[in-house]
Chains A and B, each alone.
Chain A
Amino acid sequence: DSGVTQTPKHLITATGQRVTLRCSPRSGDLSVYWYQQSLDQGLQFLIQYYNGEERAKGNILERFSAQQFPDLHSELNLSSLELGDSALYFCASSAVQGNTIYFGEGSWLTVV
């Protein structure tokens, strides 16, 4: 158990809908990262937050947004969902920028 908690573990929704994925980082970790992993693809970096502020942005679609709250948990919002958004979404956290990042078990999103 990495200490990073993600909910929900599985989610099935229809195209055009909006979902929110939630992440609680390891105790004491200030940085939160979101990654997308599609079938047969590697981890694609979406966005990073550090102590509530956005710090780095990857290939995150405009339909997607995220935030980190004062209690350091983070949410990834996916809207106007398309079939191609079906993927595993991982949250990860680290204590200080540049240190090892630890992953949660992921949220499996299926868009039908």
Chain B
Amino acid sequence: GESVGLHLPTLSVQEGDNSIINCAYSNSASDYFIWYKQESGKGPQFIIDIRSNMDKRQGQRVTVLLNKTVKHLSLQIAATQPGDSAVYFCAEKPPTSGTYKYIFGTGTRLKVLA
């Protein structure tokens, strides 16, 4: 079946450094992508999204890059802070007629080292 995968299950970065979390998505026709952050015991929190007609989108300290050629999505976090420690999921939305199901990756755990 289709799946969204993450290359690194755990990423450790020094506080203040930039973090890059990668995601390989499965459906070349997916037209919408979301990054979520999930802290322990909490629900996934929307971080940033991007549509397939874009290749880059910036938010506050975060940037999402989309490379449709290789079906790759990345989340860049600038000046990583201890509060950024969490599991990060990417999600893709395949185009379907009338209904849809987001496909989520298993997540990458980001650990921020003091």
Contact = CB atoms under 8 A, between A and B. Distances in A.
Interface of A: 2, 4, 33, 35, 40-43, 45, 48, 55-56, 58, 90, 97-98, 100-106
B44 A90 contact: yes
- Interface residues of chain A: helix, strand, loop or mixed (majority): loop
Contacts of B44: 43, 90, 103
Interface residues of B, number: 21
A100 B44 CA distance: 12
B43 A42 contact: no
A33 B34 CA distance: 16
Contacts of A103: 36, 43-45
B100 A106 contact: no
Contact of A42 (B42, B93, B107): B107
Contact of A104 (B43, B46, B104): B43
A45 B102 contact: yes
B43 A48 contact: no
A56 B46 contact: no
Given A4-B43, A90-B43, A104-B43, 8 more contacts: A2-B43, A43-B89, A56-B100, A56-B101, A58-B101, A97-B100, A98-B100, A100-B46
